[in-house]
């Protein structure tokens, strides 16, 4: 599910970690009409331009390739993504209230219906990218923890395409600053973060910090110099590892993970965002 997006920074990174380089190559290499992924888009009192549809197809393909790489499969090439896109806020809000008992979210993915519901505002494409990630991840890992599900979706929700047809992600500076400021003020507690319940993510006052933290964890995992940690942690957790055991296996101990995470956002590369 997607909150109202943060303002984007003026420029994105020119470089991206290894898994994203692989996927960018795959996106360019597989640009012929061999892609079988299906988007079923039901527009309600609105329409999508041909450019919007083409962009969605390219970004959806990138996300499918991402999860194919992580889970060593090709099944995501043919996953069906069903979308209801609303042009009238009142109509969308009624659906959102009936489904989630909220009215402040721009879009959401319903696991029960296996469908995405979006209000077509100025940032609706980012919301579509975000919710598509939820849809595809569930196809591979139905019970992903909330922090992991939302962290990856937030990362993929800000994909951009360069003039030479590479797909990159737009680092979310405001999320990083929010977390960094919380760490510096001694307000942040990693253990408390992992104790939040799924219902807490629907509390409007809690959501900004929950999304900032989940995004920053995922951003940290893919931006380590020695290796990409996101893919192995995803695989471990799909096998049944708890969050703590997955971090312990990947980093040697939970303490090592936490120390490196804090250093990344207080003294390392993350401080520059």
% of the chain at pLDDT higher than 90: 77
| Gap between the Cα atoms of 123 and 49, Å rounded | 15
Whose structure tokens read 């760490």? 183
Question: Cα–Cα–Cα angle for 265, 189, 157, nearest 5°?
Answer: 55
| Gap between the Cα atoms of 214 and 182, Å rounded | 14
| 257: pLDDT strictly greater than 90 | yes
Q: pLDDT tier at 21 (50, 70, 90 boundaries)? A: very low
Sheet with 107-110: list strands edge to edge: 38-44, 80-86, 115-119, 107-110
Mean pLDDT calculated for residue range 77-95: 96
pLDDT digits (tens, 9 = 90+) for 94-126: 999 999 988 889 999 999 999 999 999 999 999
CB 137 within 8 A of CB 130: no
pLDDT at 11: 39
| 151: pLDDT strictly greater than 70 | yes
Q: pLDDT tier at 29 (50, 70, 90 boundaries)? A: very low
Lowest-confidence pick of 7-11, 89-93, 151-155, 232-236: 7-11
Strand pairing class (167-169; 159-161): antiparallel
Instruction: Extract the tokens encoding 38.
Output: 């299906």
Mean pLDDT calculated for residue range 64-69: 95
The mean of the pLDDT values for the chain is 87
| 156: pLDDT strictly greater than 50 | yes
pLDDT digits (tens, 9 = 90+) for 158-198: 999 998 888 998 999 999 999 999 999 999 999 999 999 99
Query: pTM, whole model, 2 decimals?
Result: 0.86
| 62: pLDDT strictly greater than 50 | yes
pLDDT at 38: 80
Within 10 angstroms of residue 48's Cβ, the number of other Cβ atoms is 18
């Amino acid at each position: 599910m997607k909150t109202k997006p943060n303002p984007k920074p003026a420029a994105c990174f020119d470089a991206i970690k290894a898994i994203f380089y692989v996927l960018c190559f795959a996106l360019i290499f597989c640009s012929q009409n061999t892609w079988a992924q299906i988007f079923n888009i039901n527009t309600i009192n609105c329409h999508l331009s041909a450019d919007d549809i083409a962009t969605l197809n390219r970004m959806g393909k990138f996300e499918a390739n991402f999860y194919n790489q992580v889970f060593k499969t090709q099944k995501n090439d043919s996953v069906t993504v069903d979308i209801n896109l609303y042009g009238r806020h009142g109509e969308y809000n009624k659906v959102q209230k009936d489904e989630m008992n909220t009215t402040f979210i721009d879009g959401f993915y319903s696991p029960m219906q296996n469908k995405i519901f979006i209000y077509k505002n100025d940032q609706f494409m980012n919301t579509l990218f975000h919710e598509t990630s939820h849809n595809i991840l569930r196809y591979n890992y139905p019970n992903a923890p909330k922090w992991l599900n939302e962290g990856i979706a937030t990362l993929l929700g800000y994909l951009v395409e360069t003039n030479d047809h590479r797909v990159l992600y737009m680092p979310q500076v405001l999320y990083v600053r929010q977390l960094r400021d919380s760490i510096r003020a001694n307000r942040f507690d990693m253990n408390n973060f992992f104790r939040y319940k799924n219902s807490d993510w629907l509390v409007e006052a809690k959501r900004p910090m929950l999304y900032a933290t989940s995004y920053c964890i995922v951003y940290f995992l893919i931006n380590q110099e020695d290796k990409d940690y996101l893919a192995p942690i995803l695989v471990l957790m799909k096998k049944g590892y708890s969050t703590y055991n997955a971090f312990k296996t990947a980093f040697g101990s939970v303490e090592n993970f936490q120390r490196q995470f804090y250093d990344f956002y207080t003294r390392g590369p993350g401080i520059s965002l």
